[in-house]
Amino acid sequence: MQQRTPIEEQIDLPFMESLRISFQSLKIRFGRSVITTAGITLGIAFLVSVWTSNEIGIALQESGRQSTINTFEETTEAGISTKDIWLIVMSLIVCVVGIANSMLMAVTERFREIGTMKCLGALDGFVVRLFLLESGFQGFSGALIGALIGTLGAVLLGLKDYGLDLFFYFPLLPAQPEDGPMQLGVIVVILLGCFLGMVLAVIGSSFPAWRAAKLPPAEAMRTEV
């Protein structure tokens, strides 16, 4: 058998091309993208509202005001009740599990698409990049909306508990009172929420996408959801 022209190496796609493909994909499955993004929004909204409520509680405690409702709570030395810690940890778990699940489902139903793209010449790296871009965008927008909704919710709750004093003592910026616990401030909480949402979405999507991309295309295309 004669040797023919040797097989060349596949090229990398320009970044703009990947960006275009990922946006097109988000746009056309808009309904599905919104549902996945809503999962991120919910998780982050919950986390940020619990966290912000806690910040507000501490700030107003520092100021000497007490919520009429929370007075019966046992407080630790630092001023955060064990119930608050519990709530924050729980909301963090709900957030992580919720987002990971939502991303995993969104990728699993696209295994066939991943296999098909590889048949057409996609490199594994392209598949991963596509999912990185899509999930990064979904993660950021979902988390930002979630953080704003969460903050709004915490403010409304705070208004109910503390009235207009809330705005006077509102913990917008980080603070380190001499005798109190470190306070992050609402802005940092929002930023952290956005960052966490984006990181979780990107990991939750790229990791399964990377695993699917490594499969032989025949196997990826067999997957029925």
Q: Which of 117, 132, 147, 209 binds other proteins (CB under 8 A)?
A: 117
Closest-CA residue to 169 (of 86, 79, 59): 59
Tokens of 186: 């609402």
Q: Please name the residues in contact with 73: beta carbons below 8 A apart, sequence gap of 6 or more.
A: 81, 83
CB-wise, 113 or 165, nearer to other proteins?
113
What is the distance between the alpha carbons of residues 126 and 110, in angstroms, rounded to a whole number? 15
Q: Which stretch binds other proteins (CB under 8 A): 43-51, 88-96, 122-130, 193-201?
A: 122-130
Instruction: Please tell me whether residue 122 binds other proteins under the rule CB under 8 A.
Output: yes
What is the distance between the alpha carbons of residues 54 and 166, in angstroms, rounded to a whole number? 13
CB-wise, 9 or 178, nearer to other proteins?
9
Q: Which stretch binds other proteins (CB under 8 A): 25-33, 46-54, 76-84, 131-139?
A: 25-33
Q: What binding mask, one character per residue, do residues 5-24 give for other proteins by CB under 8 A, x or -?
A: xxxxxxx-x---x---x--x
- Going from the C-alpha of 141 to that of each of 5, 25, 36, 92, 148, the distances in angstroms are 48, 16, 11, 19, 11
Minimum CB separation from other proteins for residue 188, in Å? 38
Residues lying near other proteins in the complex (CB under 8 A) are found at: 1-11, 13, 17, 21, 24-25, 28-29, 112-113, 115-124, 126, 216-219, 221
